[in-house]
Amino acid sequence: MALDRSNPVPNDLSAFWMPFTANRQFKKAPRMLVSADRMHYRTADGREVLDGTAGLWCCNAGHNRPKIVEAIRQQAGELDYAPAFQMGHPKAFELANRLRDMAPAPMEHVFFTNSGSESVETALKIAIAYQRAIGQASRTRLIGRERGYHGVNFGGISVGGIVNNRKFFGSLLTGVDHLPHTHLPGQNAFSRGQPEHGGNLADELERIVALHGPETIAAVIVEPVAGSTGVLIPPKGYLQRLRELTRKHGILLIFDEVITGFGRLGAPFAADYFDVMPDMIVCAKGLTNGVIPMGAVLATKEIHDAFMGGPEHVIELFHGYTYSGNPIASAAGIATLETYKEEGLFERAAEIAPYWEDALHSLKGLPHVIDIRNLGLIGGVELEPIAGEPTKRAFTAFLEAYDRNVLIRTTGDIIAMSPPLIIEKGHIDTLIGTLADVLRKLH
Ligand SMILES: Cc1ncc(COP(=O)(O)O)c(C=O)c1O
């Protein structure tokens, strides 16, 4: 394939301080993507790379989708920006309606943000303010979970449970506690779908409630399926039990669906898939197919209406972003939801998930593979770490796969995959076949 001359790579890479990246290593051997179409990226050196990760779990409809591209083009020429506070524009209302119609029935209201991290902060703030609005002002504590990932802002890293995301940043929020994680490789290794063991770990909430008193706790936030910590599938019964206990103690339940939203499990949201209804759903990524930054918090009528009691001229929630419901993001969101619907992509994900599961579990027995986990179009392959050099083995697998024209992702020594929902069986064969080759040769 010819070099793409329309996207020359600058000689100087020093100015851009890259996020969550080993900057010095990257800049010595850059991996530059210059264009993308459907299931593939094109690299600066002219290779086509199969996207096994939907970008960063966000391009659920694949890349360069005409309807989304056109909607953005049109919107930019029609209304580029409108003030987000005390003013409105039609597309934000339209997108909110469509999101409400797609979301589980109790989710009747939508607050727009620009990312998963901002959606998390928004949901946590709404939870505390809601408790106050209903006369429960002592409920300010937030409960997260070990190994949880809720973005990188202060609220999110406080309720999150990934040590490197927390330990460099001071004392974080006060009044936070954590449930234990549910990763039990000793009992659950190589489970297909939801693991059998660990549902009882939700009962640990009782211990936390007993320690602090239920009247101090505002909300519990969890990822229904944890992604960034290495694909942790909830054990059978776990989410149901968490819902029972939060309800029993007057605690709100927030699902962080930044990666599970928009069809990843073959249903619109994980709340639908597991048939467990939280009080708020946090989403982002797939909302605009990753094309324009946008996030949202979906909330029940009960939560929304609790804020609507004061004088009508007074702002009800002192929260919002300059770009909340940005016109171009809203247009992209509408076109994205239409694309999902017209192409039946959520149903497609459900249909192809068994093939994905079989392909993934065919890696069992290859060198260093100590666990394989899957649900919907999510897959995790855990490798035995190299003694004294954690993360190195999986990262080497990532580099080797990229050299062989396949994009995967790693976190710790876990390979995480989450392809676009338009993936075909042939792509799955290439993705898993290439990974198998890589694993066979890996030291
Ligand atoms: C569960 C979860 N929450 C929050 C976030 C943060 O989203 P963003 O990077 O858009 O801020 C992510 C990102 O991967 C995520 O997986």
Query: Which distant-in-sequence residues (6+ apart) come within 8 Å of 197 by Cβ?
Result: 184, 187, 188, 235
Q: Which atom of ligand 1 is closest in space to residue 228's alpha carbon?
A: 16
The residue assigned the tokens 């209201």 is 109
The confidence score (pLDDT) of residue 4 equals: 52
Q: Which atom of ligand 1 is closest in space to residue 153's alpha carbon?
A: 11
Beta strands in 59-131, from DSSP E residues, in sequence order: 107-113
Which residue ranges does the chain devote to CATH 3.90.1150.10?
23-61+344-441
Mutate to test the pocket of ligand 1, among 114, 117, 158 (most ligand atoms within 8 A of CB): 117
Q: Ligand 1 centre from 416 Cα, in Å?
A: 15
CB-ligand 1 contact for 223 (6 Å cutoff) = yes
Determine the residue type at 63: H
68-342 topology per CATH = Aspartate Aminotransferase; domain 2 (3.40.640)
Tell if the pTM clears 0.85, that is, is over it. Answer: yes
Angle between helices 327-342 and 345-361 (to 10 degrees): 70
Q: Ligand 1 centre from 368 Cα, in Å?
A: 29
Q: Looking only at Cα atoms, what is the longest distance across the chain?
A: 68
The confidence score (pLDDT) of residue 7 equals: 65
Handedness of CA 35, 36, 37, 39 (dihedral sign): positive
Q: Ligand 1 centre from 117 Cα, in Å?
A: 6
CA distance 292 to 314: 31
CA distance 33 to 51: 11
Asked whether 378 and 357 are in contact (CB, 8 A), the reply is no
Mapped onto helix, strand or coil, the DSSP state of residue 256 is strand
Closest C-alpha among 41, 38, 34 to residue 8 = 34
Query: Which distant-in-sequence residues (6+ apart) come within 8 Å of 270 by Cβ?
Result: 224, 225, 255, 257, 260, 261, 264
Asked whether 160 and 333 are in contact (CB, 8 A), the reply is no
Q: What angle do CA 248, 250, 252 make, to 5 degrees?
A: 110
Mode of pairing for the β-strands spanning 217-222 and 252-256: parallel
Mutate to test the pocket of ligand 1, among 285, 411, 418 (most ligand atoms within 8 A of CB): 285
Query: Atom 3 (ligand 1): residue with closest C-alpha?
Result: 150
Query: Which distant-in-sequence residues (6+ apart) come within 8 Å of 420 by Cβ?
Result: 38, 39, 51, 54, 59, 60, 61, 62, 63
CB-ligand 1 contact for 228 (6 Å cutoff) = yes
Q: Where are the alpha helices (DSSP H) in 112-203?
A: 116-133, 154-159, 163-166, 185-188
Mutate to test the pocket of ligand 1, among 114, 223, 259, 410 (most ligand atoms within 8 A of CB): 259
CB-ligand 1 contact for 256 (6 Å cutoff) = yes
Structure tokens at 197: 């063991």
CA distance 202 to 350: 27
Which residue ranges does the chain devote to CATH 3.40.640.10?
68-342
Q: Ligand 1 centre from 150 Cα, in Å?
A: 6
Q: Ligand 1 centre from 151 Cα, in Å?
A: 5
Q: What is the pLDDT along the chain (443 residues), one digit of tens a residue?
A: 444 556 678 989 999 999 999 999 999 999 999 999 999 999 999 999 999 999 999 999 999 999 999 999 999 999 999 999 999 999 999 999 999 999 999 999 999 999 999 999 999 999 999 999 999 999 999 999 999 999 999 999 999 999 999 999 999 999 999 999 999 999 999 999 999 999 999 999 999 999 999 999 999 999 999 999 999 999 999 999 999 999 999 999 999 999 999 999 999 999 999 999 999 999 999 999 999 999 999 999 999 999 999 999 999 999 999 999 999 999 999 999 999 999 999 999 999 999 999 999 999 999 999 999 999 999 999 999 999 999 999 999 999 999 999 999 999 999 999 999 999 999 999 999 999 999 999 98
Mode of pairing for the β-strands spanning 409-411 and 414-417: antiparallel
CATH of 23-61+344-441, one of 2.60.40.10, 3.90.1150.10, 1.20.140.10, 2.60.120.1440: 3.90.1150.10
The confidence score (pLDDT) of residue 55 equals: 98
CB-ligand 1 contact for 162 (6 Å cutoff) = no
Q: Ligand 1 centre from 162 Cα, in Å?
A: 13
What secondary structure does DSSP assign to 197-242, as a single string?
S-GGGGGHHHHHHHHH-GGGEEEEEE-SSB-TTT-BPPPTTHHHHH
CB-ligand 1 contact for 148 (6 Å cutoff) = no
Query: Atom 15 (ligand 1): residue with closest C-alpha?
Result: 258
Asked whether 396 and 8 are in contact (CB, 8 A), the reply is no
The confidence score (pLDDT) of residue 1 equals: 41
Q: Ligand 1 centre from 13 Cα, in Å?
A: 26
CA distance 136 to 124: 15
Q: What's the distance, CA 92 to chain centroid?
A: 22
CB-ligand 1 contact for 113 (6 Å cutoff) = no
Mutate to test the pocket of ligand 1, among 58, 121, 122, 149 (most ligand atoms within 8 A of CB): 149
Q: Ligand 1 centre from 181 Cα, in Å?
A: 18
Mapped onto helix, strand or coil, the DSSP state of residue 153 is coil
